[in-house]
Amino acid sequence: MGVNRSGKLTLQTRYKSRLPQGFSYPLGLEDLNKVLGDISQAADLHVSFSNAPLGKGFRLLMKRDLPHQVLAARFSKWDKEPSIGDNTFADEYLRGHWSITVYPVASVRRSQARALLIEVLPAVREWFSRARPESWYYGRKVYEIRFDPLEETIDANDLVEAT
């Protein structure tokens, strides 16, 4: 975690995948820092830029200008320790793990997707900051942002992922 000149915490990239030609990340770390750099989870927030959905199906969605995921904010908390694995890794998930992942768009759609994502980032901030009952803090939750290039819209969904 970094600190800027004003003493404000700043987000740090934990992971960034290289992208094949023709793909770009619609947001950068600076964009995320402007809106999320001072949330209460900032010190522990794992920020990544991932090409993970760049499988054949994902590339086909982009080629056909169909809606696809461009950002996911997640919270995961395990209720029991796995039988094998790194204790440091397990401890983090036993305490609760906050993350945000940015996924690519077709390079020709980057400015369009960026403008729409900048507008929705305050809602992502609100998702991180909202008051929740203690029972919410178990399992895997995701606030998913999908981009529809033809409709020029962003769609957000608050989901519970299967554990």
Residue pLDDT tens, the chain, 163 long: 455 444 455 788 888 999 989 999 999 999 999 999 999 988 889 999 998 766 678 778 877 888 999 999 999 876 655 555 556 655 665 667 899 999 999 999 999 999 999 999 999 999 999 999 988 888 889 999 999 999 999 999 998 765 5
Residue 74 φ/ψ, nearest 5 degrees: -135, 150
Instruction: Mark out the alpha helices in 7-129 (DSSP H runs).
Output: 29-36, 56-63, 87-95, 110-129
pLDDT at 59: 75
Q: Which residues contact 132 (CB under 8 A, 6 or more apart)?
A: none
Residue 152 belongs to domain spanning: 2-161
pLDDT at 81: 56
Which pTM was predicted?
0.83
- Give the chain's domain count: 1
Instruction: Mark out the alpha helices in the chain (DSSP H runs).
Output: 29-36, 56-63, 87-95, 110-129
